[in-house]
C-alpha cells in the first residue's frame, strides 16, 4: 500500500480525486502527532474531518500548512511571539482565501523565528524547531517549521514568507524546494509585516512541479494590497520542460567567496556543469555591490521592522501586562512580550530612523539598495537565470550561532540581494555533504520571469532525482 505521507502534492491531488482527501488528512494527522514532539515544526495542527468525498477545486481538500505569521480567520496567529498570545484575526489573508477557493484543507500552523527575525528557527517563543535530517541541527529560518514539516512528510506543502531568505535558506537546509516570488507577485494582505518593501509569501514543497502548482494559485493582483502587481500570471506548470537549449545561466563570482563550505561550492559548480550538458550556456558574471547587501539589509529592513512592530503595545490585541499607568503598561508589555532578537532589531531600526542618523544610515542604505538592483538589471542583459549557493553552510548545530548575531546574519548573505532587488529566487536541492546534510542551490531570474527559473529548476531536479532522498525518522 502507498505511504500517503510520502506523496507529492501532484500525486496527492490525483489520489484525492479518486479516493477523497479524508484518508490523506488522517495519515498526516497520525504522522504529525508522532513526529512533532521531536521536531516542533507545528505550533498547532489538525483540521476538521472532510464530509464530502471530494471538495471542488484543484487541490481537492488536500492538506497544506501555513507559517504562523499569515492571518487565518478564527484561528490563533502569534508570529511565534508571546506578545501576540491569544491573537485571533477576524479575517483571512488573501493567500488563505486563494487556497480555500482552490479547495485546500488548512492543516497546521508552522513554527518560525519570532516575527520572522532569524535564520535558524531558534528565536521562537515556543521552542526551537529541529531539522529532520539531524535533530541536533537547525532547520534554517525564519520559515523553519514550514520547511521541516515538508521535509519530514508531515504535510504535503507549506506557505512561508521571505524577507531576506526566509523561504530559501530553510528549504536549502531541509532539502526541499522553496520559492520567493517577485516582489508584488503575491498579495501581502494578511501577512503580519516585518519589512514591508521586502516581504513575499511563497510555497515550500517537495518538488518543483508542486511549487509551480501552488504559484498558479497564489499569484495575481489584489486590490487590498497597494504593492500588488497587475502583471499577468502565466500557467507556471507550462514552463516545466527538460529542454534547456538557449537558456543562459550566469555564475556570479561574488557568490563563490572565502568562507563558503567547500562541499557546497563543489556541489553548485557540479550543478553548473550538469546545466552545460543539458544544453544551457554558462557565463561568468559580476554583481559588484553584493558585498554591501547584508549591511544594507540590516539597516533598511530593521528600520521597517521597528516601524511595523510599533503597533504591538498591549492596547488592541495580544499580551497586555497590567500596570498602574499607561506608559508603564507599554514598557512592561513590550519588554515581556518580545524576545531578545526582536528587541535587538527594534532598537537597531529605531536608531537608524532617529534624528541625525536617518541620512547617515537609512537614506544611504536605500541608495546602495538601488545600486544592487542595477547590478541585477545589468546582469540580466547577458543571462536569463543566475545560479549560486543558497546558503554558505549546511545546517549548523542548535545553539552554535545564537550568541553571535553577526555570524547568524551572514547565513543569509546569498539570499538577501534578491530581496533588495525585488527579483524572484528559489532554492532547489542539489546534493548532500559528506555528513549526509542537504545542500541547496539558488536560482534567480528577472522580475516576473519565474517561468525561466522554474524551467531551469525542473530540468535539474528531473535529471538528478535528488528530491527522492528522504531523512530517516
The per-residue pLDDT for range 384-437, each reduced to its tens digit, is 999 999 999 999 999 999 888 888 888 899 999 999 999 999 999 999 999 999
Going by C-alpha positions, the residue among 442, 45, 430, 426 that lies closest to residue 203 is: 426
Query: Which superfamily is assigned to 4-290+369-468 in CATH?
Result: Amidase signature (AS) domain (3.90.1300.10)
Omega prior to 358 cis, within 30 of 0: no
pLDDT tens for the chain, 473 residues long, are 569 999 999 999 999 999 999 999 999 999 999 999 999 999 998 776 655 555 668 998 999 999 999 999 999 999 999 999 999 999 999 999 999 999 999 999 999 999 999 999 999 999 999 999 999 999 999 999 999 999 999 999 999 999 999 999 999 999 999 999 999 999 999 999 999 999 999 999 999 999 999 999 999 999 999 999 999 999 999 999 999 999 999 999 999 988 899 999 999 999 999 999 999 999 999 999 999 999 999 999 999 999 999 999 888 888 999 999 999 999 999 999 999 999 999 999 999 999 888 888 999 999 999 999 999 999 999 999 999 999 999 999 999 998 888 888 888 999 999 999 999 999 999 999 999 999 999 999 999 999 999 999 999 999 999 999 999 98
Q: Residue 437's pLDDT is what?
A: 98
Element (H, E) at 406: helix 405-409
Asked if 142 is an active-site residue, the reply is yes
End-to-end alpha carbon distance in the chain: 19
Neighbouring-strand partners of residue 179: 426
Given 142, 388, 427, 451, which residue is catalytic? 142
Q: Are 395 and 140 in contact (CB under 8 A)?
A: yes
Q: Residue 473's pLDDT is what?
A: 87
The torsion defined by the Cα of 314, 315, 320 and 323, in degrees rounded to 10, comes to: 110
Confidence (pTM) = 0.96
Give dist(CA 303, CA 110) in Å, integer.
26
Element (H, E) at 457: helix 450-464
Asked if 67 is an active-site residue, the reply is yes
Tell me the per-residue pLDDT of 238-282, one tens digit each, with 9 for 90 and over: 999 999 999 999 999 999 988 899 999 999 999 999 999 999 999
Q: Are strands 385-389 and 248-252 parallel, antiparallel or unpaired?
A: parallel
**What is the grid cell recorded at 42?**
507545528
The string of DSSP letters for 182-249 reads PTTSB--TTBPPS-TTT-EEEEEESSHHHHHHHHHHHBS--TT-TT---PPPP-GGGG--S--TT-EE
Given 166, 229, 427, 451, which residue is catalytic? 166
Give dist(CA 6, CA 340) in Å, integer.
38
Asked if 239 is an active-site residue, the reply is no
Phi, psi for residue 358 in degrees, rounded to 5: -55, -50
Q: Residue 54's pLDDT is what?
A: 52
CA distances to 42, 302, 314 from 298, in Å: 28, 6, 27
Q: Are 93 and 190 in contact (CB under 8 A)?
A: yes
Give dist(CA 25, CA 377) in Å, integer.
45
Tell me the angle at which helices 144-151 and 22-39 cross, rounded to the nearest 10 degrees.
120
**What is the grid cell recorded at 397?**
548545530
Given 67, 98, 180, 206, which residue is catalytic? 67
Amino acid at each position: 500500500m502507498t505511504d500517503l505521507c510520502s506523496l507529492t502534492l501532484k500525486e496527492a491531488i490525483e489520489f484525492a480525486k479518486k479516493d477523497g482527501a479524508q484518508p490523506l488528512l488522517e495519515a498526516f494527522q497520525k504522522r504529525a502527532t508522532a513526529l512533532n514532539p521531536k521536531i516542533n515544526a507545528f505550533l498547532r495542527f489538525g483540521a476538521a474531518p472532510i464530509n464530502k468525498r471530494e471538495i471542488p477545486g484543484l487541490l481537492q481538500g488536500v492538506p497544506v500548512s501555513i507559517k504562523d505569521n499569515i492571518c487565518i480567520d478564527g484561528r490563533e496567529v502569534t508570529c511565534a511571539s508571546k506578545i501576540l498570545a491569544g491573537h485571533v484575526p477576524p479575517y483571512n489573508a488573501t493567500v488563505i482565501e486563494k487556497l480555500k477557493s482552490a479547495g485546500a484543507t488548512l492543516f497546521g500552523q508552522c513554527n518560525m523565528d519570532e516575527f520572522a527575525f532569524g535564520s535558524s528557527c531558534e528565536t521562537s517563543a515556543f521552542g526551537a524547531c529541529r531539522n529532520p535530517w539531524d535533530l541536533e541541527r537547525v532547520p534554517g529560518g525564519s520559515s523553519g517549521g514550514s520547511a521541516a514539516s515538508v521535509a519530514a512528510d508531515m504535510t504535503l506543502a507549506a506557505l512561508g514568507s521571505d524577507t531576506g531568505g526566509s523561504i530559501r535558506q530553510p528549504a536549502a537546509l531541509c532539502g526541499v524546494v522553496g520559492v520567493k516570488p517577485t516582489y508584488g507577485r503575491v498579495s501581502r494582505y494578511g501577512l503580519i509585516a516585518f519589512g514591508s518593501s521586502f516581504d513575499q509569501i511563497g510555497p515550500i514543497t517537495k518538488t518543483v512541479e508542486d511549487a509551480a502548482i501552488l504559484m498558479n494559485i497564489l499569484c495575481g493582483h489584489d486590490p487590498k494590497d497597494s504593492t500588488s502587481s497587475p502583471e499577468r500570471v502565466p500557467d507556471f506548470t507550462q514552463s516545466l520542460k527538460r529542454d534547456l537549449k538557449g537558456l543562459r545561466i550566469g555564475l556570479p563570482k561574488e557568490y563563490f567567496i572565502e568562507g563558503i563550505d567547500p562541499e557546497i561550492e563543489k556541489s553548485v559548480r557540479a550543478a553548473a556543469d550538469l546545466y552545460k550538458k543539458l544544453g544551457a550556456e554558462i557565463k561568468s558574471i559580476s554583481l559588484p555591490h553584493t558585498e554591501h547587501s547584508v549591511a544594507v539589509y540590516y539597516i533598511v529592513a530593521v528600520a521597517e521592522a521597528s516601524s511595523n512592530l510599533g503597533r504591538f503595545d498591549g492596547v488592541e490585541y495580544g499580551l497586555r501586562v497590567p500596570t498602574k499607568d499607561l506608559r508603564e503598561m507599554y514598557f512592561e508589555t513590550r519588554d515581556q512580550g518580545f524576545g531578545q532578537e526582536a528587541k535587538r532589531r527594534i532598537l537597531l531600526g529605531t536608531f537608524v530612523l532617529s534624528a541625525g542618523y536617518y541620512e547617515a544610515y537609512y537614506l544611504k542604505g536605500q541608495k546602495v539598495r538601488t545600486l544592487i538592483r542595477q547590478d541585477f538589471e545589468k546582469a540580466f542583459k547577458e543571462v536569463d537565470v543566475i545560479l549560486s549557493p543558497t546558503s554558505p553552510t549546511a545546517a549548523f548545530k542548535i545553539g552554535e550561532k545564537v550568541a553571535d548575531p553577526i555570524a547568524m546574519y551572514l547565513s543569509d548573505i546569498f539570499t538577501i540581494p534578491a530581496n533588495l532587488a525585488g527579483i524572484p529566487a528559489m532554492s532547489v536541492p542539489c546534493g548532500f555533504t559528506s555528513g549526509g546534510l542537504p545542500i541547496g542551490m539558488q536560482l534567480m531570474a528577472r522580475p516576473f520571469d519565474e517561468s525561466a527559473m522554474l524551467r531551469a529548476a525542473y530540468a535539474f531536479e528531473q535529471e538528478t532525482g535528488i528530491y527522492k532522498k528522504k531523512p530517516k525518522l
